[in-house]
Chains A and B, each alone.
Chain A
Amino acid sequence: MIFGVPIGEGTNLLFEGAFGDKVAISQSIVRATPILMTAIGITIAWRAGAFNIGGEGQLIVGALLAASIGKFILNSNLGFFGCILMMAGAAVGGAIWSGLAAILYLKRGVDLVISTILLNFIGDKLLMFFVEGPLRKQGQTAPLTDQLPDSLMLPKFSRQSDLHFGIFLALGVAIAAGYWLYRTKPGYFARIVGSNTGFARSNRIDAEQVKFRAMLLSGAICGLAGGIQYLGINGQLASSFSQQYGFLGIPVALVGALNPIAIIPSALLFGGLFAATSNLSRFGGIGSYFVYVIQAATVLGLLLFRSVNDRRIAVRNEG
C-alpha cells in the first residue's frame, strides 16, 4: 500500500486496463495515436537541434484550422475529400504555429524553447475564444463546435469501438519520418545540424534554414495530431479538447531515443498507461495520479540508465 493504493492490485488493474482485452487494447491504441504523432513531430525538430516544446499549441491550432474548414463544408457532400481537406488544414495550422516561432528565431534570434512554450498558452486561449465565439454551434449555449457528420470523419473500424483510421496515418508518418531522417539528404542535413552546427557551417550547410524547415515540418506533424484527434474521435471541439498530448510527445520521443521507429512502442506504452487510468480511478483521485507516477518513473529510469551507461562507456574509453 502506498498512499492508500494497493500496489499489487493497482499494477494488475493498470495492465488489464491497458492491454487486458480487446476494448482495452483498442483504447490504448486510440490514446497512443496522437501521442505517436506529436512525438514524431517533436523528434523531427529536436534532431535538427530546434527544441520545439510547442507541440501542444501546434496540435490545438491544427485542430482549430481543421474545425474552421469543417464549419464551411459541414453541409457539403465532399465526403472523404472533405476529411482530407481538413487534415491538410490541420497540418497547415500546426506549421503556421511553429512557423511563428521559427520566424522569430530566424529574424530576431528568439530562443525557440521560450517562444514555443509561450505559443502553447496563446494556442490554448485561442481555442477557448473560438469555441465560445466564431466556431460555436448556432443556437447553442455550450462552448462546442458543430458536430461533424460521420461521412466527413476518419473511417472507424467498427461501430463498437473508438478505434479509427488515424493509427495507420500515425504509423505511416512514423515510418516516413524514419525514412526522411536516415535516407534523404534533407534528413541527413538535419541530423548534421542537430549534431554540430559548426560542422554544418564548415560544409556550407545553412544551419538556420535547416532548423527553420525542420520546425515547419515538426509543426505540421503536431498539427496533424490535432486533426487526427478531431476527425477520429468526436468531430467536435470543446475548450477541453486538448489532453496534453502535445506535451506528452516530448517524454515519449525521448524514451524512443528520438528514433521514429523506436518511438512507436514508446507511444503504445504511454497510450496504454493513459487508457488504464480509468481503471484506477476506483481508488479515488490518488489512483489516477498513480499513472503519472509511472510515466515519470519511466522517463527518469531511462535517463538514469542512459547516464550510467554513458559513464560506463566513458570509463572504459579512458582506461
Chain B
Amino acid sequence: MLSAIGVSKMFGSLEALKPLSVDFLPGEVHAVVGENGAGKSTLMNVLGGFLSPSSGSINLNGNEIPSGDPQSCRSLGIEMIHQHFKLVPAFTIEENLRLSQLGVGQNSIEVIKSKASEFGWKIPWEACIQDVSVGIQQRVEILKSVATYPSVVIFDEPTAVLGIEEVEELIGFLRKLASDDKVVILIAHKIEEVLAASDRITVLRRGEHIGTVERGEVDSAKLVEMMIGGLVESLTKSEPDQGREATKSLEVKDLWVQDDNEQDVVQGLNFRVKKGAIVGIGGVDGNGQVQLAEALAGIRKIRTGDISLEGSSLDWDQCFVGYVPQDRQSEGLAINLNLVENIAVSGLMNGHYFSNSDQYEKASRLIEQYAIKAKSPRDLAKQLSGGNQQKVILARVLDQNPKVLVVVNPTRGLDVKAAGFVHQKLIDAAQSGAYVLVVTTDRDELYAITSEQWFMSRGKLFADEKEALAS
C-alpha cells in the first residue's frame, strides 16, 4: 500500500497542493482527476520522488520513502510512466530497453520479451522508435518500467496520445496490471476513461483534495461537478438559420486534396455547411481531416473540385477565412514573439506601414475581452499556459468576424473550463452568421457543439461512425 500522509507542496508562495492524505491500495486502479492546475502532476511527482513535499510523508507498506530521490523510489518499486516518452528516437526498441536497464538491473531483454508476450503484445524489437506508432512507443515505455517488477506504477495522462482503440486496449492492460496485486495510479483528463478504468477516484481542485470515491458512487455529471465545483452549464447548440437565409451555404463539391507526399488523402468530398450551423468532422487522426481543413483555410492546394460560398467560388484573398490549426505551438502561434506580434497577423490594413501602437492597442483590447491571463501584451506567447495560448488564437481569428471559420481540435489539452469557453465562442460565431467547420478527434466535443456530424476515414466521409471505423 502506498500512502500519502498529510502531503503538501508549495512553490514559492503558491500552494500547489494543500495537505492531503490518500491510500493507494494494491489491486486497484486508482484515478486522480482534476482540471489543469488542480495539482495532479504535483502529487504524482511527489509520489514518484521527483519532488520533495513541503510537509508530510509518503509511506510504502509502512516504511517512509526518501523524498525527492526518483532513483531510490525506482529501486523501491515505484515506477512512473511519463506523458512525454523518454525514448531515443534513432535507437531500436531493443536498444532503448537495454539503455533503460543500465544501472537498474539484472533484467535481461529476455525477461522483458517474455513480459511482452505475457501481455499479449507484439513488439517489433528491431524497429527504430521513430518509425513505430505512438501506441507502440507507449508500450515500450511501459515495458521499461514493469520489467523491474514494481509494486506501484503511476501513469501520467497515458491516453492523451492514443486513438480510440488503443485507449481501450490500454484500459484493459491497466486492469490486468492491477489484478496482479499492483498499485496502479492513473492521472487522466477524460471522465469516461476514468469511469471505465478505475476502481476508486481521487478528485483534486485547485490543489485541494475534494474527495476520494468508489466508482459505483458517482456518474460523470457528479464527477465533473466535483472537479470544477458547480454544474457545467450545458451548451445551447447553434442551429442552421431557418429564415430567409436558409438557402445560403458553404458548399464543398467533389474535393480532392493531396498531402505533402502527393497522396490523395481527401477523395472527392461533398458536403454543405448551412449558415449559422456548425458542422463537425470526426474520425481517427490521420484520415485526411487536417488536409481538408487546410484546403478550406486556403493554405493547401486543391487538386480538383470546388469550394463555393453563397453561390460563388471562395476567394481567400477577398474573404477572410478564420483558421485555428491543430497545433498551437507549431502553427497557431510564433511562440518566441510577443502577443502584439502574434495578434497583429490577422487583419493588417493595406499598405506597407506596420503601426506598433495600433497593434498594441488591439492586443490589449483582446486580452481584456477574452480574459487572457498575461501580464502585458509584450509577454512572449510561450510564457502563457495552453488555455491562454488558445484564447489568443481564437481572439485573433474571431476579431476579424470571419464569414467562414475552420477549427481543428480546438480544445486539445485544455481543462474543462477553458474548453467550455472555446466551445461557447464557436457557437457564438455560428449564431452571428458564420459558417463553422469543426474537425475534431474528440467525440464528446463533436456531439456537444455540432449540429451535423460526419466521420472521415481514408479520405472519405461517412454519416455513420461505425461504418467509418469499419471501412
Contact = CB atoms under 8 A, between A and B. Distances in A.
Interface of A: 182-188, 191-192, 195-196, 198-199, 201-205, 317, 319
Contact of A183 (B323, B332, B354): B354
Given A192-B334, A199-B332, A202-B325, A185 B348 contact: yes
Contact of B331 (A198, A204, A205): A198
Interface in B299-341: 299, 316, 323, 325, 327, 330-337, 341
Contacts of B297: 202, 204
A182 B354 contact: yes
Nearest to B382: A317
Contacts of B375: none
26 contacts: A183-B353, A184-B353, A185-B353, A185-B354, A186-B352, A187-B354, A188-B348, A188-B354, A191-B337, A191-B341, A192-B334, A192-B345, A196-B333, A196-B335, A196-B336, A198-B325, A198-B330, A199-B333, A199-B334, A199-B345, A202-B297, A202-B331, A203-B346, A204-B316, A319-B11, A319-B12
B354 A184 contact: yes
Given A196-B333, A317-B383, A188 B341 contact: yes
Interface of B: 11-12, 297-299, 316, 323, 325, 327, 330-337, 341, 344-346, 348, 351-356, 383
Contacts of A184: 352-354
Contacts of A317: 383
B13 to A, nearest CB: 11
Contacts of A201: 299, 331
A317 B345 CA distance: 27
B336 A202 contact: no
A186 B297 CA distance: 22
A65 to B, nearest CB: 28
Contacts of B337: 191-192, 195
Given A184-B352, A187-B354, 7 more contacts: A192-B337, A196-B331, A196-B335, A199-B332, A199-B334, A202-B332, A317-B383
Contacts of A183: 353-356
B300 to A, nearest CB: 9
B307 to A, nearest CB: 15
Given A204-B299, A317-B383, A192 B341 contact: yes
Contacts of B325: 198, 202
Contacts of B346: 203
A53 B435 CA distance: 47
A188 B337 CA distance: 11
Nearest to B344: A188
A195 B334 contact: yes
A201 B348 CA distance: 16
Query: What are the nearest 3 A-B pairs in CB distance?
Result: A195-B334, A198-B331, A196-B334
Contacts of A188: 341, 344, 348, 354
B91 to A, nearest CB: 26
B351 A185 contact: yes
A299 B208 CA distance: 50
Nearest to A189: B345
Contacts of B344: 188
A184 to B, nearest CB: 5
Contacts of A196: 330-331, 333-336
Residue from the set A182, A196, A319 with the largest chain B CB neighbour count within 10 Å: A196
Contacts of B12: 319
Nearest to A313: B383
B341 A203 contact: no
Contacts of A204: 297-299, 316
Contacts of B332: 199, 202
A199 B354 CA distance: 18
A8 B458 CA distance: 74
A192 B334 CA distance: 7
Contacts of B354: 182-185, 187-188
A201 B345 CA distance: 11
Nearest to A201: B299
Contacts of A192: 334, 337, 341, 345
Nearest to A188: B354
Given A185-B348, A204-B316, A195 B336 contact: yes
A307 to B, nearest CB: 16
Nearest to B346: A203
Given A182-B354, A185-B351, A188-B354, A199 B331 contact: yes
A203 B356 contact: no
Nearest to B349: A185
A200 to B, nearest CB: 8
Nearest to A195: B334
B430 to A, nearest CB: 21
A279 B325 CA distance: 59
A192 B348 CA distance: 14
B353 A202 contact: no
A310 to B, nearest CB: 11
A95 B297 CA distance: 34
A187 B351 CA distance: 13
A194 to B, nearest CB: 9
A29 B11 CA distance: 52
A314 to B, nearest CB: 10
A16 to B, nearest CB: 42
Contacts of B327: 198
B351 to A, nearest CB: 7
A181 to B, nearest CB: 9
A184 B352 CA distance: 5
A292 to B, nearest CB: 32
B362 to A, nearest CB: 14
Contacts of A186: 352
A80 to B, nearest CB: 29
A207 to B, nearest CB: 11
A245 B357 CA distance: 37
Contacts of B330: 196, 198-199
A191 B340 CA distance: 13
B417 to A, nearest CB: 23
A188 B359 CA distance: 12
A278 to B, nearest CB: 42
Nearest to B12: A319
A187 B341 CA distance: 12
A187 B345 CA distance: 12
Nearest to B397: A203
A70 B345 CA distance: 45
Contacts of A195: 334, 336-337
